[in-house]
Amino acid sequence: MRDRVLKALREAQGPVSGEALGKDLGVSRTMVWKHVKALREQGCPVTSGPLGYSLDREADWLHPMDFPGMEDKIHWFAETPSTMDIARDMAKDGAPHGTLVIAGRQTAGRGRLSRTWHSQEGGLYFTMVLRPALPVAQVHKPVFAASAAMAETLRDAAGVDFRVKWPNDILSGDKKVVGMLSEMHAVGETVEYLNLGVGVNVNNSPGEAGPRAASLKELAGGMFSRRDILRGFLARFHASLEGEDTAEVMSRWRANAGTLGRPVRVETPGRVIEGMALDVDDSGALVVEFPDGTRGLVSHGDCFHR
Ligand code: BTN
């Protein structure tokens, strides 16, 4: 019934009274009011005035109905501890490739290396359940495709020169606007699912995450549509993942990278590596030239531009 109330509000040409809505849907006015209240609690922008209820179409709400053709795969939560947890349960229960869990805010958002991802209202927080039919050795393909697709999307949206820091953060200068976290489950040598969580600082103020975090709003001024960013990202990401091979994805990543050709420090558990970042290979490892002129591959770690 809640979805039917929402659908009726979306289709209405102007404000519609609780009584008229109830009559159309065969329920009481009080019942309509209860559903409107529940919708508002989910973050749905329903306003009420002297002529009745109306839906603010311009509001930046991320409801499944705003993603035509994908409604069945989108799961929206106004607030949740972490979209990673919900996506993991869904993936275990067989959720299909492309399932998307989106939250308005997270109370226990997780970052890489057991860090917290501050997830206030105004940011974009989602986890995709992917079943890319890849060998484990190529599981990095969707993650590199995602960071390149997001950098392109944000550059288009905000006109700021966002670049990917190896492996998958997105920065403007030294300010981080996007982080990505992946969790994989494999059966033998094949990826069964890869859950890819993406946090984008859009209209929030991520100051509590530290001086090196910033949002689109802070960097470019003005408010941005999370809905347009997500739509743009999904179109680019799926075109790349499904239309390009791993080598092509890595070339696209290189074209969006800010790390290559720069001195870097990579902190791995037990080892700090310093040198010049030259390239990435097709496995996603960073090719580093050390001060003595030798070269090596770094496959994981926390990378800092120096
Ligand atoms: C990082 O840079 O450390 C990765 C941050 C990943 C944050 C996203 S927000 C959506 C998803 N849910 C989480 O709890 N984390 C990821």
Q: Which domains does the chain have, with CATH numbers?
A: 2-55 (1.10.10.10), 64-255 (3.30.930.10), 262-305 (2.30.30.100)
Please report where in the chains the tokens 């040198």 appear, as a residue.
275
Residue 86 Cα to ligand 1 midpoint, Å, equals 13
Residue 116 Cα to ligand 1 midpoint, Å, equals 8
Residue 196 Cα to ligand 1 midpoint, Å, equals 9
pLDDT in tens, 26-60: 999 999 999 999 888 877 889 999 999 998 877 88
Per-residue pLDDT at 209 = 78
Per-residue pLDDT at 281 = 94
pLDDT in tens, 256-274: 999 999 999 999 988 999 9
pLDDT-wise least confident of 6-10, 73-77, 174-178, 255-259: 6-10
Tell whether ligand 1 has an atom less than 6 A from the beta carbon of residue 84: yes
Q: Which of the four pLDDT bands, split at 50, 70 and 90, describes residue 239?
A: very high
Residue 69 in this model has a pLDDT that exceeds 80: yes
Tell whether ligand 1 has an atom less than 6 A from the beta carbon of residue 168: no
CA-106 nearest atom, ligand 1 = 14
> How far is it, in rounded angstroms, from Cα 165 to Cα 176?
9
Residue 232 Cα to ligand 1 midpoint, Å, equals 19
Summary mean pLDDT of the chain: 94
Beta strand 124-130 with 190-200 is antiparallel
Per-residue pLDDT at 162 = 97
Closest residue CA from atom 11 of ligand 1 = 197
Those residues whose C-beta lies under 8 Å from the C-beta of residue 262, and which sit 6 or more positions away, are: 276, 277, 305, 306
CA-113 nearest atom, ligand 1 = 3
If DSSP codes are grouped into helix, strand and coil, which group holds residue 296? Answer: strand
**Residue 135 structure tokens:** 């060998």
How far is the CA of 32 from the CAs of 46, 54, 88, 188, in angstroms?
Answer: 12, 13, 34, 51
Distance of CA 169 to the CA centre of its chain: 12
β-sheet bridge partners, residue 124 = 200
Tell whether ligand 1 has an atom less than 6 A from the beta carbon of residue 112: yes
Residue 213: which of 109, 59, 295 has the closest Cα?
109
pLDDT in tens, 186-230: 999 999 999 999 999 999 999 887 889 999 999 999 999 999 999
Per-residue pLDDT at 210 = 83
If DSSP codes are grouped into helix, strand and coil, which group holds residue 4? Answer: helix
Mean pLDDT of 82-88: 98
- Is the omega angle on the peptide bond into residue 45 within 30 degrees of 0, that is, cis? no
> How far is it, in rounded angstroms, from Cα 111 to Cα 125?
12
> How far is it, in rounded angstroms, from Cα 94 to Cα 72?
14
Per-residue pLDDT at 248 = 96
β-sheet bridge partners, residue 277 = 262, 288
Residue 25 Cα to ligand 1 midpoint, Å, equals 40
Closest residue CA from atom 3 of ligand 1 = 111
Residue 108 Cα to ligand 1 midpoint, Å, equals 10
Residue 178 in this model has a pLDDT that exceeds 90: yes
Mean pLDDT of 148-173: 96
> What spatial distance separates the first Cα and last Cα of the chain, rounded to whole Å?
56
Q: Which of the four pLDDT bands, split at 50, 70 and 90, describes residue 66?
A: confident
